[in-house]
Amino acid sequence: MTVYVRVKDESGLVRGENSAILSVDNFALDGYKKRKASAMAIQTVVDDINTLKAQVEDIRSLLVQMLNRGEQTR
């Protein structure tokens, strides 16, 4: 069984057997996970918007090509 020793004056930190300092603050961990999920959701939306922008630009280019071909056949 792993033995942890509380770090002096730090309620959310303990020292493990290998002298590593570990956080045992589950509230902070939950907050981190929520911020991470929110950032990932925002990045997904940004990626989707950039994809849509590229697709609109492709459609615009195709429309310009179609208009140019139509003018050439007149």
- The pTM of this model reads 0.66
pLDDT of residue 73: 75
* DSSP three-state, residue 57: helix
Domain total of the chain: 1
pLDDT of residue 62: 97
Q: Which domain holds residue 9?
A: 5-72
pLDDT of residue 11: 86
User: If you count DSSP H runs as helices and E runs as strands, how many of each does the chain have, helices first?
Assistant: 1, 3
pLDDT of residue 3: 83
Please report the DSSP string for 5-16 in residue order.
EEPTT-TTEEE-
Per-residue pLDDT of the chain (74 residues; tens, 9 = 90+): 778 899 998 889 999 888 899 999 999 999 999 999 999 999 999 999 999 999 999 999 999 999 999 888 76
